[in-house]
């Protein structure tokens, strides 16, 4: 079991301290350094998995290998205080910000999002495979950047919650309908990330939080 110096966890908050590149900045380093001494683990702000899936223009990314070196500096700074570091991975689905140029929208449904009004594409099997790959690739980069914990966002109306919700998921295939079907795709993502992270570093410990 992963040991924490205390039971306080710092949640993922959107600081707005990015420069639009998706990379760690000096402001990020200073912000988390000032807080990590007080908590058992720091959850870094939600990472985007693809530049077309941003919630805010200044969001940090885990979509490409060029992000890893900056994140290593961040995790090293937090580890120096004795705290652990959590990588929060999220796909917004139809809740991607419609005001950011280049964003795209996919979901369990093709109904427009109540938050922002974006009209999503109802995902097909290729879309599902691409989403699983985005999560597993990001998980591998998180391990390379020395994160201790991987957190998957299953709530708050984002993509995986869009599959879980009977109010949003109106599919008629094996990914919609009853509870078992609605959980099928989110659990595929969870298992794929679990297998990927475990295969990447069997000596490392990871926790998967369904927040």
Please tell me which residue in 17, 38, 48, 158 is annotated as part of the active site. 158
Q: How far apart are CA 148 and CA 146, in angstroms?
A: 6
For position 196, what pLDDT does the model report?
A: 85
pLDDT tens sequence across 69-105: 999 999 999 999 999 999 999 999 999 999 999 999 9
Tell me if 124 is assigned to some domain: yes
Tell me if 2 is assigned to some domain: no
Tell me if 209 is assigned to some domain: no
The answer to whether 97 touches 103, Cβ cutoff 8 Å, is yes
Tally the domains of the chain.
1
Question: How many CB atoms lie under 10 A from the CB of residue 34?
Answer: 9
Q: Could you tell me the residue range of the domain that residue 58 belongs to?
A: 9-202
Tell me if 104 is assigned to some domain: yes
| Cα Rg, the chain, nearest whole Å | 17
The answer to whether 102 touches 96, Cβ cutoff 8 Å, is no
pLDDT tens sequence across 117-140: 889 999 999 999 999 999 999 999
Q: For the domain that residue 197 is a member of, what is the CATH number?
A: 3.20.20.70
Is residue 158 part of the annotated active site? The answer reads yes
Mean pLDDT rounded to a whole number for the chain = 92
Q: What is the pTM of this model?
A: 0.92
Tell me if 3 is assigned to some domain: no
For position 204, what pLDDT does the model report?
A: 39
């Amino acid at each position: 079991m992963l040991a924490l110096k205390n039971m306080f966890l710092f949640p993922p908050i959107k600081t707005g301290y990015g420069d639009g590149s998706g990379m760690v900045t000096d402001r990020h380093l200073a912000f988390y350094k000032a807080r990590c001494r007080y908590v058992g683990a720091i959850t870094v702000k939600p990472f985007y998995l693809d530049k077309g899936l941003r919630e805010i223009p200044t969001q940090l990314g885990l979509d490409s290998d060029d992000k890893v070196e900056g994140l290593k500096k961040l995790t090293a700074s937090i580890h120096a205080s004795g705290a652990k570091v959590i990588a929060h991975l999220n796909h917004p689905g139809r809740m991607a910000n419609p005001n950011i140029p280049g964003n795209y929208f996919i979901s369990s449904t093709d109904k427009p999002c109540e938050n922002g009004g974006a009209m999503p594409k109802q995902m097909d099997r290729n879309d599902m495979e691409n989403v699983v790959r985005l999560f597993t690739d990001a998980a591998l980069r998180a391990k390379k950047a020395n994160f201790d914990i991987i957190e998957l966002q299953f709530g708050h109306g984002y993509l995986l919650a869009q599959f879980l919700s009977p109010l949003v998921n109106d599919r008629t295939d094996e990914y919609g309908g009853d509870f078992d079907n609605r959980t099928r795709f989110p659990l595929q993502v969870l298992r794929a990330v679990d297998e990927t992270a475990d295969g990447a570093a069997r000596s490392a410990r990871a926790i998967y939080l369904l927040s």
